[in-house]
Structure formats: C-alpha cells, structure tokens
Structure 1
Amino acid sequence: MLKAALNGNRTPSEHPRIPVTPQQLAGAAREAVEAGADALHLHPRNAAGAESLETEAVAHALNAVRAACPGVPVGISSGWWILSDVEARLAAVRAWTVLPDFVSVNWHEDQSPELAELLLERGIGVEAGLWTAEAVQTFLDWPRRDEVLRLLLELPDKPIRDYKAELREMFALLDASDLDKPTVLHGLGESAWPLLREAGRRGLSARIGLEDTLLLPGDFDAADNAELVRVAREILG
C-alpha cells in the first residue's frame, strides 16, 4: 500500500500546492489516487485554515475527498498540536458526525490508549503511530494492540546515520513480539525518501506526500502531491 499524506501542518506559504480547503483537498486527493495512491491521510482545516478536529471541519474535508475518490480509504491525524487539551480532543472525536476510515494515534502522546479505545468504540480504524523504540514497547504492552488497523512507524527529519539504530531497535521489538499487523514505514524531510526505499526493501507499506517532503529525490522541488506519488510508485515498482 502507498498512502498519500496530502498536507500535514504545512501552509501554502511553504508550497503553493498545499491543499487547505475541502475543495483543494478533494483535488489533491483525486490527483494522488490517479498517480497511484491507495489510501489518503490529511489534516482537516477550519474556515481560518488552521488544523482542526472540529465536527464541521472533519465532515467537510471527508465528504469532499470521498466524493472525489469513492472507495479510497481516508484517514486523519489526531496529533496533540491540533488540540492539546486531551479531554477536548476526546470530546471532539465523540462529536464527529462523519467518521474517517482511520485515525493516526501517536503512542508517545498523553492518553493515546484512551483515544485509541474511543476510536475503536466508534468503529474507526486505528493507526498506531510509533516514533521511538520506547513507544513501540509501550504499544506492545497495551492489551488491545491486536485490534488496531495497522502500525505506522515514523522517523523524524534526520540524516540516515542518525536513525538507523533506532529503527533497528523498533523492528527488533516488533519481531520479538507475536503481533502480526500491516505496517507503514515513512520519514519526514531528509528521511522521507530513504525510508520509502527501506519500506520497499522490507515489503512494507509506504507513505509520501507534501506533509512528509517538498522535494523529489535529488533535492528537486516537487510540483505537487501527485508528482511525489508518481515518483514513489516508480521507486517501489
């Protein structure tokens, strides 16, 4: 599976093709799917363009993208920076009237198990976002780990030499467990393309998009999400 991460917390000031409005998200999603994306990840925005978990923002974004890409799984982020008050975040999820297919839950963030349990109760798939070996171990100790949709191994914007040891430890913990779940491996910035290639070598799912990088391999500017997806498809084969 290749997932397109359409916008993240980026703004059009960083790249003119960052989608913000529901209509822009729908257009970017359609282009990404046509380029080869199998699933979509996005950060809904409110009327002011800020990331939001509010009912209206989530519904408008999901409805627009699903109309443009029927049948394609669509997920959103639940990152603490979007809504840092944990109880408010849980209340926002309870209030959703249009449900995403999956939500990424970063396991190092406060009360991530409670959020994951609420999502499961609402019938929403959980992507367990694992950024460190410590987060992997904490997740493996969670009694409901077998109920998640998949794992999302995420590494930061660092040179290859800085994350190899952490990645080895993360995989060692997972390999030593009896957990058998689909896994997406992806990076950010400098690690985005090396980890996409690593995902291909390991037979894992991958992720790419303007959330993760604004550049093509070779440090050429990417035109849009669709170009990133097309190049990723060529690399993955």
Structure 2
Amino acid sequence: MIQASLNGGRTAQDHPRVPLTPQQLAADARLVRAAGASSVHLHPRDDRGAESLDAAVVSASVGAVRRACPGLEISVSTGLWMYDGDASARERAVAAWATAEHRPDVVSLNLSEPGFDRLARVLGTLGVGVEAGVWSLADAVRLLENPVAGTCRRILVEMIGLPTEQALAEADAVLRRLAEAQLAAPVLLHGEDGCAWPVLDRALDLRLETRIGLEDTLTDPDGHDVEGNAALVRHAVERLARRTRAD
C-alpha cells in the first residue's frame, strides 16, 4: 500500500502545487489515486491557510476528497503543533467531530506528543482509526506498553529530521522491536526530506506499507524537482514494480 502525503505543513512557497483548499485536495486525490495510491494523508487548512482540526474545516476537506474519490482511505494529521502544544484544546477540537458531516477514516497520532491516550479514546468513540506515529525506538517501547497498541489501524514508523544512514539504522531498530511484539496492525515506514527515498526503498524491500508526497519530499529519487504529488507516487509505484518483477 502506498499512501500519498499531500501537503503537510508545506505552502505554495515550498512548491506551487501543494494542495491546500478542499477543492485542491480533492483534485490531487484523484491524480494520486490514478497514479497508484490507495490512501491519502492530509493536513486540512482553514481560510487563513493554517492547519486546523476544527470540525467544519476537517469536514470540508474530507468531504471534498470523499466525493471525488469514493472508497479511498483518508488520513488526517492531529499534530499537536496545530494547538501550540495544548493537548486539551486539540482533544476538544477532535471531540467536536461528533457532529461533523464528514470524518476521516484514520488519523495519525504521535506517541511523542502529550495526550496520546486521551485522544485515542476520543477517536475510538468517533469510529476513527488510529495510525500510531512512532518516531523513535523510545516511541515504539511506549506504544507496546500501551493498550492502544492492540487496536491501532496502522503503525507509522516515521524517520523525520535524520540523515539517511541514521534514519535507516533507527528504522531497523524500531522494526525489530515491533516484530518481536507480533502486533496485528500493519506497519507503514516512511522518511522525510533527504532520507525519504532511501527509507521508502527500505520499506519496499521489506514489503511494508509506505508513503510519499509533497509533505515528505519535493524531489524525485535523483534529486530533481517534481511536478507534484502524482509524480512522486508514480516514482514509488515504478520502484515497487521493479522489485515485483525481480521476485
């Protein structure tokens, strides 16, 4: 499974094709689905372009993507930075999704951020799955000590802000620890920026789920600028196809 990470915290200053509005997200979702993605991960934006978990903002973006791409899995970030580290404010915003017309299928929820347990319980009452964000071996240990581990929809092993060799070594250590626990949830492995493609290749070699998109990198595997999210997904699909043929 390849998930397309459509925007993250990027803006048009980072890349002119970063989708921000519901209409742009829906259009990009169509393109990445056609390119081979079976899931999209997005950061909804309010009218000022700021990341937001406000029920109306999330519903507008999720609804637009769902209408454009029925059946496509939709993941939304719950990054605590959106609320300046205020876990209670984030929890209140997500709880308000109960009255929203559209909710995501899953959300990414980081083990390293305060409020993980409480927000996971809120999401459970809403019928929204948790993608547990594991950024380090310490996060993996915290997850395995948490009852949520047995109910996660997916485990995101995310290598962020690390040079390539360190990212690969850290990913291997995390994956070994998770494998020992024999969890039922699938693992999605990805990196960001300079390590994005090497980490994606490691995921493909290990037959794990992975993701790619403008949130994670602005360049192709050779370091060249890309047209947009669909181009990144096509590169990932081609790399997967080469491995499949080799098998």
Q: Which TM-score bucket, shorter chain as reference?
A: over 0.9
| Whole-angstrom CA distance in 2 between matches of 1:7 and 1:87 | 25
Counterpart of 1:171?
175
| Whole-angstrom CA distance in 2 between matches of 1:163 and 1:35 | 27
CA pair 56-89 structure 1, distance change in 2 beyond 3 A: same
Which of residues 191, 211, 217 in structure 2 aligns to 1:213? 217
| Whole-angstrom CA distance in 1 between matches of 2:210 and 2:147 | 27
DSSP-derived class of the 2:147 partner: coil
Counterpart of 2:89?
88
Which of residues 142, 145, 148 in structure 2 aligns to 1:141? 145
TM-score, length basis structure 1: 0.97
Counterpart of 1:20?
20
DSSP-derived class of the 2:80 partner: coil
Superposed CA offset, 1:191-231 (max 9, x none): 11011111110010010000000000111001000000011
Counterpart of 1:63?
63
| Whole-angstrom CA distance in 2 between matches of 1:164 and 1:234 | 21
Q: Which shows bigger deviation, 218-227 or 112-121? A: 112-121
Q: Which runs of 4+ in 1 moved over 4 A?
A: none
Counterpart of 1:151?
155
Q: How does 1:191-206 map to 2 (within 5 A)?
A: 191-206=195-210
- 1:85 maps to amino acid: D
Superposed CA offset, 1:168-209 (max 9, x none): 221221122132221100000011101111111001001000
| Whole-angstrom CA distance in 1 between matches of 2:58 and 2:15 | 23
Counterpart of 1:130?
134
DSSP-derived class of the 1:212 partner: coil
Aligned residues between the structures: 237
| Whole-angstrom CA distance in 1 between matches of 2:168 and 2:31 | 33
Percent sequence identity over aligned pairs: 44
- 1:92 maps to amino acid: A
Counterpart of 2:10?
10
| Whole-angstrom CA distance in 1 between matches of 2:149 and 2:161 | 27
TM-score, length basis structure 2: 0.94
Which of residues 211, 214, 239 in structure 2 aligns to 1:235? 239
Which segments of 5 or more consecutive residues in structure 2 lack a partner in the other structure? 242-247
Say whether residues 1:45 and 2:49 are aligned partners.
no
| Whole-angstrom CA distance in 1 between matches of 2:110 and 2:66 | 25
- 2:88 maps to amino acid: E
DSSP-derived class of the 1:215 partner: coil
| Whole-angstrom CA distance in 2 between matches of 1:37 and 1:164 | 24
- 1:109 maps to amino acid: E
- 2:164 maps to amino acid: I
Q: Shift of residue 161 of structure 1?
A: 1.7
Aligned 8 A contact 2:62 2:104 in 1: yes
Say whether residues 1:180 and 2:180 are aligned partners.
no
| Whole-angstrom CA distance in 2 between matches of 1:5 and 1:36 | 13
Q: Which shows bigger deviation, 107-116 or 126-135? A: 107-116
- 2:55 maps to amino acid: T
| Whole-angstrom CA distance in 2 between matches of 1:233 and 1:196 | 11
Counterpart of 1:107?
111
